[in-house]
């Protein structure tokens, strides 16, 4: 396999063995970006010169025999809401095409401290408010699994999903407010980790919802997501929500010794929506059987009747907080803002006085109730998205389909891991393993066992036909 087809862990192993250099790895990804991104449209800006300079510095440090961490000298791409002081940061909006950041996000600070090399910023849905991955003014990235039809990449971390799936980067950073890591991971065949709110600092990160936003990794393996989580998770006084988090207990050999003691809830099929694609249902039940074969106890359950209705409640919170953040320009019709995103945010004006505050009170009650319901299980197994990636021209921007299965976890303060679950007619399928608050290690253990048993994370799109 080419260097650009390897996972972070595999690239790191080659560095340790002296089989390649950081410069070799960076050059391989930059070459693929140059060859494919004119058509894929994953990157908003490529840091080619800076990446080569950082790679050369990493190689010098390695040659000097200095002690280096496991991510040192490896590349990554950044969703364009992770600010870098002095650099353009658009947050997906043409309105901010020339906006220069005044501070560097905690995410970028920690990745640089780990020795990682940013390859550039990736495109995203405007203000991170959209699940299909569209952006009419900045352009929608192209899902690399279909060279003939422009299919949705998933959003809002659209560019990061496409970049990692196509080998333009070995891993990427996304954000997840209602599924924006997991949905593009599902449509692009990646592993995507939605962490618990408060696990990773949001300092100097472009916000959609200060109540629900999370930052997390998108990669080609569970191991890579775990390594990135180790680098990113930490208390940060600049984000008070991170100060009460428990210590992340995630040793290098975190894989579960089988799943004999894992109890995984499997919701009733009757609770799933009518718009489920048969192939997604088959992948979901197949994942349950695979986990059962690995020793897990699969427990048929009925979720609380209000569970899937939480997608709407989460949407109200997002719209209200996005309106508060962006009101100054969202109501200015002269500003170049996409119609669908503008309509979602302006929807907050339809809420009755006090409805937002009442919604937060209800959310706290639902979190307590669901905590009791979840007490007897280690995880819940659900589909990530209800359908494989549809053609871009066929989607309905107002459809509940893409975020139906993902928004409830943000609302309830849970963590979740999107996992590749095979292909249907050449398009990725995905399931998600949902965990309790701050139970990232447990869902990563379950995900790794499933990954190692199925090998679905090894599937790659064919780059033939993707070049411009």
The CA distance from 158 to 173, in Å, is: 11
User: Of these residues, 4, 21, 79, 185, which one is catalytic?
Assistant: 79
Residue 340 structure tokens: 């669908």
Annotation marks residue 350 as catalytic: no
User: Of these residues, 93, 160, 180, 185, which one is catalytic?
Assistant: 180
Cβ atoms of 75 and 228 closer than 8 Å: no
User: Of these residues, 4, 93, 156, 430, which one is catalytic?
Assistant: 156
What does the chain come to in residues?
468
Annotation marks residue 436 as catalytic: no
Cβ atoms of 201 and 239 closer than 8 Å: yes
CA dihedral (14, 18, 22, 25) in degrees, to 10, reads -50
Annotation marks residue 121 as catalytic: no
* Count of CB atoms situated within 10 Å of the CB of 465: 11
The CA distance from 121 to 92, in Å, is: 10
Question: Catalytic residue numbers?
Answer: 79, 156, 180
């Amino acid at each position: 396999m080419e260097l650009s087809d390897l996972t972070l862990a595999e690239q790191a192993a080659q560095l340790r063995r002296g089989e390649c250099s950081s410069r070799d790895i960076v050059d391989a990804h930059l070459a693929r970006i140059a060859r494919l991104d004119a058509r894929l449209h994953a990157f908003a800006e490529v840091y080619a010169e800076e990446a080569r300079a950082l790679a050369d510095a990493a190689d010098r440090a390695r040659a000097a025999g200095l002690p280096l961490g496991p991510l040192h000298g490896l590349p990554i791409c950044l969703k364009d809401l992770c600010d870098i002081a002095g650099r353009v940061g658009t947050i997906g909006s043409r309105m901010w095409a020339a906006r220069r950041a005044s501070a560097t996000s905690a995410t970028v600070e920690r990745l640089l401290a780990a020795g990682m090399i940013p390859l550039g910023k990736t495109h995203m849905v405007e203000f991170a408010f959209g699940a299909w991955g569209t952006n009419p003014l900045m352009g929608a990235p192209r899902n690399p699994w279909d060279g003939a039809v422009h299919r949705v990449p998933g959003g809002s971390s659209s560019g990061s999903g496409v970049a990692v799936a196509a080998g333009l980067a070995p891993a990427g950073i996304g954000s997840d407010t209602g599924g924006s890591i997991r949905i593009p991971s599902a449509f692009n065949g990646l592993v995507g980790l939605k962490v618990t709110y408060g696990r990773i600092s949001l300092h100097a990160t472009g916000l959609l919802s200060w109540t629900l936003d999370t930052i997390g990794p998108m990669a080609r393996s569970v191991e890579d997501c775990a390594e990135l989580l180790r680098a990113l998770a930490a208390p940060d006084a600049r984000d008070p929500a991170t100060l009460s988090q428990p210590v992340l207990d995630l040793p290098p050999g975190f894989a579960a010794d089988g799943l004999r003691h894992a109890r995984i809830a499997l919701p009733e099929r009757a609770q799933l929506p009518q718009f489920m694609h048969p192939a997604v249902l088959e992948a979901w039940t197949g994942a349950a059987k695979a986990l059962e074969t690995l020793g897990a106890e699969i427990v048929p359950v009925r979720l609380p009747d209000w569970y899937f209705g939480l997608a709407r409640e989460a949407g109200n919170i997002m719209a209200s907080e996005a309106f508060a953040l962006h009101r100054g320009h969202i109501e200015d019709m002269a500003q170049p803002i996409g119609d669908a995103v503008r309509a979602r945010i302006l929807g907050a004006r339809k809420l009755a006085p006090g409805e937002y505050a009442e919604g937060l009170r209800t959310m706290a009650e639902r979190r307590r109730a669901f905590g009791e319901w979840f007490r007897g299980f280690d995880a819940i197994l659900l589909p990530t998205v209800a359908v494989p990636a549809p053609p871009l021209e066929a989607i309905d921007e107002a459809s509940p389909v893409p975020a139906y299965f993902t928004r409830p976890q943000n609302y309830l303060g849970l963590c979740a891991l999107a996992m590749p679950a095979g292909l249907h007619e050449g398009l990725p399928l995905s399931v998600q393993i949902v965990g309790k608050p701050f139970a990232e290690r447990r869902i990563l253990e379950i995900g790794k066992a499933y990954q190692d048993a199925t090998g679905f994370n090894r599937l790659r799109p064919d780059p033939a036909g993707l070049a411009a």
